[in-house]
Amino acid sequence: MTILITGSAGFIGFHLSKRLIDLGETVIGVDNLNNYYDPSLKKARLDILKNSESKLFTFVKANLEDSTSIENIFAEYKPNKVVNLAAQAGVRYSIENPHAYVQSNLVGFINILECCRRYSIEHLVYASSSSVYGGNTKMPFSETQNVDHPVSLYAATKKSNELMAHSYSHLYNIPSTGLRFFTVYGPWGRPDMALFLFTKAMIEGESINVYNDGRMIRDFTYIDDIIESLVRVLNKPPVKDLTFDFQNPNSSSSWAPHKIFNIGNSNPIELMTFINAIEDSLGFISKKNFLPMQPGDVPATEASTKLLEEWIDFKPNTSVEKGISSFVNWYKEFYKVSKKIDHIKSN
């Protein structure tokens, strides 16, 4: 089995690639190694994949929006399945750089869909986001809810991905699964995410920025749970729902071979609880700047994962305390900062 993974040097793409290689699958990794965040972290992830003893990993540097490059990759490697994780990420960055999101998340995704059509892909799994729920306030967020009111361009592009994938599933019978990720965290995580930002600032003796005065709730989901879910989803392509009710359509299913699932921990916690867990792992209290809500952000997220659990017989269950401890241990080892932490504790 040959599996093409876009965004393979990214946080989730790296972990998924590593897991599939360990399972004996051939992985073709695609990434443009852009500088949205420190490329050295992406290259460090990539080095681990390239040095895999199994030699089942091949890396190709390419932009999704370059249709010729993507076409050549499909033609040369002929993947059986595709996992599209590459995207311009970040809610707040989409306000500053909207064109980057249109190119990567929309133009790039149509190039993936076109190649899936031409090369008869057995299953396309693609990343959506919990941000598609936008202005919804009814918790937990369910796949059956309306998601027509995004509050950021990033969210709008992810909703667009779901619509684009469904149309190709309908027109060309491409089995496709969209996954709405809920605040993924863990070792090798993205530097622009809260856990990384907080840990880095605390270790460097700086204040952390706590938005909405800390009155935020998030459904934090540990990376190992995400990867277990992804592997199971990848091995179970959707089929047409022959009982689909056209009079009362349910957005979580379709007459086409297309499904959408939430992936979350289903155990949302307050931001201050999250921060306290980081402090416990580091062994000291942080200095905090309490600030207003940022544009494009939402005060709370919570995933209903009932449909996913029924589909793959698995429920994410890693506690935040355990997950944060794993991240902090990785961070200290990767950045070699134990002496700096001891200095902060002594002060």
Catalytic residues: 154
3-class secondary structure, 30: strand
Task: Supply the DSSP symbol for 141.
Answer: B
CA–CA distance from 279 to each of 205, 273, 289 (Å)?
A: 12, 10, 15
Distance CA 70, CA 82 (A): 12
Question: Which residues make Cβ contacts (< 8 Å) with residue 248, sequence separation at least 6?
Answer: none
184-185 vs 269-270, strand pairing mode: unpaired
Distance CA 120, CA 104 (A): 23
Beta strands in the chain (DSSP E): 2-6, 26-31, 57-61, 81-84, 123-129, 176-181, 184-185, 208-211, 217-218, 221-222, 258-263, 269-270, 288-291
